[in-house]
Amino acid sequence: MVRARFAPSPTGFLHVGSARTALFNWLFARHEGGQFLLRIEDTDAGRSKPEFLNEILDSLRWLGLNWDGEIEFQSKRLEIYRTIAEKLLSDGLAYLDGKAILFKVTPGEVINVEDIIHGTIQVNTLEIKDQVLIKSDGTPTYNFACAVDDSEFKVTHVIRGDDHISNTPKQLLIYRALKLVPPKFAHIPLILGTDRSRLSKRHGATNLNDYRKIGYLPEAMVNFLSLLGWAPGGDREILSVEQIVKEFDLAKVGKTGAIFDVTKLSWMNSQYLKDASLETLMPLVQQVLQERGWWNPSTGSGQGTDPVWIGKVVDLYKSRVETIEDFCEQTQGFFTDQIPFDEQAVQLRLKQPDTSKRLSVFADRLEKLPTWDSASIEAACRVLADELKVKAADLIHPTRIAVTGRAVGPSLFHVLEVAGKDRTINRLRSAATSLCVS
């Protein structure tokens, strides 16, 4: 049975590159009908923190990467590593250097690494110095613990970033010394920024949790990460998790670095937001509204306290936004009186002659409407435009800016219906007196 694994160190938040590694292991295991194991490499007691571990586990759950069996912790296996290292010591394959145990590397030997993605990689042991197995503080080194654990837990495939290629021949030497059968290796390309340098904070957010907070959906993130180095063919980009699992093939993973393009991710997320149910989006929206202080469900404070009404705003805008944070930016005028006006739009649309008068008259007409719905609002707008002998756009554009602060958005008449009669009329009159030229 295929057994793949993900082995993070809880010394920081989950990097998007590590998340992609976890995803590829999970996809491969599920595609092959195998198992996906989770091992925590926490032997660095000084840097390993519970908060990092919790964030890593939460992020994996958020992505839907369920693991099989119990989580294994290297910190609970220190005696096992020492026992095996001392066996190599007694066999004359290792030696003591103070309190450390080092493995003897025979120089001049060629090690062949058979890699599923890169093919055969040859490394001369002249390039490898004697390897520390157990450090002087009693903890194992990465390469030693990794080889021991992958063997003991019957890992069949090690899928990791190609920055680990240099570690593989060192681990193969340990496998051979312990008379163990090594797993198959697949080193996937690193994730790069748009300038093709290694992804770093200067390219933007690098931790998965940052994208989660901004309001990217897990389905979109899985879809996006799966295409960083792998492609299903046919120029397809939007795929369900089920489709990706069905078609995922390690042999189709490329050798060159994959570009992490946030613009592409945002576009992909917008496609998922557009099709997402209100049931999916409402908890995400309400959480961000609470964080911004725009809505408090416990006290009923805020511009919009009714979840049903919030749902109407979500339905109105979800096809026009890229993230939940983007939704809040575009809809701030619905949830707070602090409207961030587009100054360029104000100059262009509200500083024109007669705009103040038109908005005031339009507010009076709307106040007299017996029914507040988009059809009635539109009819009133077009009738008034005819009476004033202006284009309907000469009312629509300044009205949108007066009510929402923005130059673009969904159908104005649907926006005003959801915004509500009192809010619409008050903002039209306020703009007429404070924003428009006299």
Q: Which residues are catalytic?
A: 201
Residue carrying the six token digits 């940052």: 210
Q: Quickly count: other Cβ atoms within 10 Å of residue 61's Cβ.
A: 12
Question: Do 200 and 193 form a contact (C-beta atoms < 8 A)?
Answer: yes
Question: Do 43 and 76 form a contact (C-beta atoms < 8 A)?
Answer: no
Closest CA to 265 of 188, 348, 204: 204
Q: Is 62 helix (H, G, I), strand (E, B) or coil?
A: helix
Q: Which two tokens stand for residue 294?
A: 């725009």
Distance from first CA to last CA of the chain, Å, rounded? Answer: 79
Please name every residue paired with 95 in a beta bridge, in sequence order, or none if there are none.
Answer: 102
Residue carrying the six token digits 């903890």: 139
Residues in Cβ contact with 283 at an 8 Å cutoff, skipping those fewer than 6 apart: none
Residue carrying the six token digits 């936004």: 321
Closest CA to 414 of 404, 429, 427: 404
Q: How many contiguous H segments (helices) and E segments (strands) does the chain have?
A: 19, 14
Cα distance between residue 72 and residue 153, in whole Å: 10
Pairing of strands 191-192, 119-124: unpaired
Question: Do 306 and 314 form a contact (C-beta atoms < 8 A)?
Answer: no
Q: For 253, phi and psi rounded to 5 degrees?
A: -75, 130
Closest CA to 110 of 129, 126, 132, 93: 126
**CA angle at residue 280 from 276 to 284, to 5 degrees?**
115
